[in-house]
Amino acid sequence: METSQTAEETAVEGFTLPGWLATAFKVYVIAALPLALVLLNARLLMNEPFLRWEYNRPGFSPDPFGMTTEERLTYGPLALAYLFNAEDIDFLGDQTFTDGSPLYDERELSHMHDVKEVTQMLMNVGIVVISLLVLSIVALARRPDTYPHLQAALFQGGVLTVGLLIALTVFVALSFNTFFVQFHALFFEGNSWVFRYSDTLIRLFPEQFWIDAFVLLFGGAIVEALVIGGAAWWWGRRLLG
């Protein structure tokens, strides 16, 4: 004899998924999608291929103190590698220019140590957020009963992501310096991230680098959210039949 299913419960292959839990998964997918896409794109940009494209693209800011593109392509990837490896700050502290002088001063090394801690913390947060996002999507995708929850979550999450990131992109475009200051104030104490134009970190990663990175970061997430939201909208039409 079949057991009737209440409006508060949804059967999911071997166990019962309560309605409140299905709703919780839906809300999580909506809320987590913007952060998941931004963190995923940030990790994709923090690699040598992006540096190579950026340093070689037409119009990229030349170093006024004479650092060549080849030198940037030597030192830049090492700075990124430090953020993800298990080495201590000596990995950067032992690096020198061709004349034997230190590549970074103590202030720059201290900042890079802080950047490594923040980067690895955010990547760990990303792993948790994305893992829970995948878990929520899989749970809602197990049976047709919860398809409407998943469809609505992906569509609304896509809309939320597009809205938030368009607003943030406009803010960055209109006031990049304010955004950049607030971004660093969120993760670093005082003015530990402020350097001279002649410092190596500024020469490797000038303002144009950050503008391009944020454009690709937010722009990429907007495109991804449009694809997800568009696919969910089409799926919703199919579900309505």
The residues spanned by each domain of the chain are: 9-240
Radius of gyration of the chain (CA): 23
- Residue 241: the pLDDT is 65
How confident is the chain (241 residues) per 10-residue block, as mean pLDDT?
Answer: 44 63 96 97 95 94 93 96 96 95 96 96 96 96 92 98 95 91 88 91 95 94 98 90 65
Provide DSSP, 195-215.
--TTSHHHHHS-HHHHHHHHH
The residue among 83, 86, 57, 87 whose CA lies nearest residue 72 is 57
pLDDT at 15: 54
For residue 11, the SS3 value is: strand
- pLDDT at position 192 is 84
Query: Which pLDDT belongs to residue 1?
Result: 38
What DSSP state is assigned to residue 59? T
Please state, in angstroms and rounded to a whole number, the distance separating the CA atoms of residues 60 and 206: 9
